Chains A and B, each alone.
Chain A
Amino acid sequence: MGGVRVLVGTRKGGFVLTADGTRDRWEVSGPHFPGWEIYHMKGSPADPNRVYASQSSGWFGQVVQRSNDGGRTWEAVGNKFEYDGDAGTHQWYDGTQHPWAFARVWHFEPSLTDPDTVYAGVEDAALFRSTDGGASWQELPGLRKQPSGPHWQPGAGGMCLHTIVLDPADARRMYVAISAAGAFRTDDGGASWRPINRGLRSQGIPDPNAEVGHCVHRIAMHPSRPGVLFMQKHWDVMRSDNGGDSWREVSGNLPTDFGFPIDVHAHEPETIYVVPITSDSHHFPPEGKLRVFRSRSGGNEWEPLTKGLPQQDCYVNVLRDAMAVDRLDPCGVYFGTTGGQVYASRDNGDSWAAIVRDLPAVLSVEVQSLA
């Protein structure tokens, strides 16, 4: 029987939750790096014992931690993120041009095949890659230096590259998402990029249909259908069936289509999950009811999943990187809240239970299914 390891990044440290394949009893280890913000932890698909963690602090900057034993012990590796060449400028809140400046790593995406290769999405928005297990980092400057770069501007949370999706069928194709620039794709291993935002419509920007400027919150893909992408935008849940060339809205009967995370069932590529949030100014669930919504039709028709989740007086948020699925059968679904709960379902989302409930605010949740 396999096991599950849940990597939880919080405002005040990282936690590793483990269970056997029954997913019944959980052990909690941590906090790792107590007092630091752990924006993201993620394991290598090629070697589950290899885990990368983004450790940062408003006082002490960025540290990158690497584990070779599944998060039991850690070593600090390279933390020098230097933009390629002349860093240049991007648009600032007041419309002026502002120098690109590194702030933190929001997301690590380890290679699907090589434990020593890992991508880092950073603020100010850029994509870095390490091929030596995090010891050194090189920017993939083609993203930031494509023509729209100087027009990108930060969202309220900063100008962050928060989503990296690798195409399992084509090693040269990957997708990234940036707040508040939009989604981008490369078909040549990261050398060149182009915006893929056709069909997105955002009321908060001067031209709602602009090529860039959209606040994409999250993109998810099922590995068996890499051309199908699901997106939770600032408002709107979107879908693309052509690798992002165009998007259509699939918000359907959701009570609100604002939210942050989106994910796909491990074995059903048309089953997707979102957590609707009231609005862009009310970052908590509608009516104080924490509900995951599931669509088994790839969008448009959604059903609320409430069993085991608080249905009154709940005013937490679920952030963009704080939902993940395991690969067991039935599929497990996990998400963390800004209230410090990590909820898990071991039955495709039908029912939920908190596997830990008093952590610091949860920033990210990743799941590893272990042999």
Chain B
Amino acid sequence: MIRVVLPTHLRALARVDGEVVLDVDGRPSRGAVLDALEAAYPVLKGTIRDQVTRQRRPFIRFFACEQDLTHEPVDAALPEAVVNGAEPYLVVGAMAGG
């Protein structure tokens, strides 16, 4: 069970409140979490990563356990605290004006 915290705009788009809880097949990685997230909430396709290139959108960040995991390989294992549900996996809209 992976706990995912989405930014406000994506919670509104997915029509969810608070955290999203996902069952992730296999070894949890960012790619596996995003696959599970998009399967559960198809409306999020294209909002975190490009649908065609699969690349992370430039202003999206991934944090967990007070670490910036944005630049970890997409298939890198997530921290154990995220995997066991002790800590959430944060999808963050990068700070910017506007």
Q: How far is the CA of A76 from the CA of B15 in the complex (A)?
A: 11
> Could you tell me if A61 and B47 are in contact, using CB atoms closer than 8 angstroms?
yes
In-complex Cβ contact of A60 among B52, B93, B98 (8 A): B93
CB closest residue in chain A, given B47: A60
Q: How far is the CA of A187 from the CA of B93 in the complex (A)?
A: 44
- A79 and B51 contact, Cβ closer than 8 Å, known pairs A60-B10, A60-B93, A61-B46: yes
> Could you tell me if B45 and A59 are in contact, using CB atoms closer than 8 angstroms?
no
Q: How far is the CA of A62 from the CA of B43 in the complex (A)?
A: 11
Task: Bin the interface of chain A by size.
Answer: 10 to 19
The secondary structure that dominates the A interface is loop
For chain B, the count of residues having a C-beta within 8 Å of the partner chain is 20
- Shortest beta-carbon distance from A340 to chain B in Å: 15
Q: How far is the CA of A59 from the CA of B59 in the complex (A)?
A: 5
A35 touches B (CB below 8 Å): yes
Q: How far is the CA of A35 from the CA of B52 in the complex (A)?
A: 25
> Could you tell me if B9 and A36 are in contact, using CB atoms closer than 8 angstroms?
yes
- B-facing mask of A88-105, CB < 8 A → 1, else 0? 000000000000001000
A positions within 8 Å CB-CB of B: 35-36, 57-63, 76, 79-80, 82, 102
27 residue pairs of the A-B complex, CB under 8 angstroms, read A35-B9, A58-B59, A58-B96, A58-B98, A59-B7, A59-B59, A59-B60, A59-B93, A60-B10, A60-B13, A60-B47, A60-B57, A60-B60, A60-B93, A61-B46, A61-B47, A61-B50, A61-B57, A63-B13, A63-B46, A63-B47, A76-B13, A76-B43, A79-B45, A79-B46, A82-B52, A102-B52
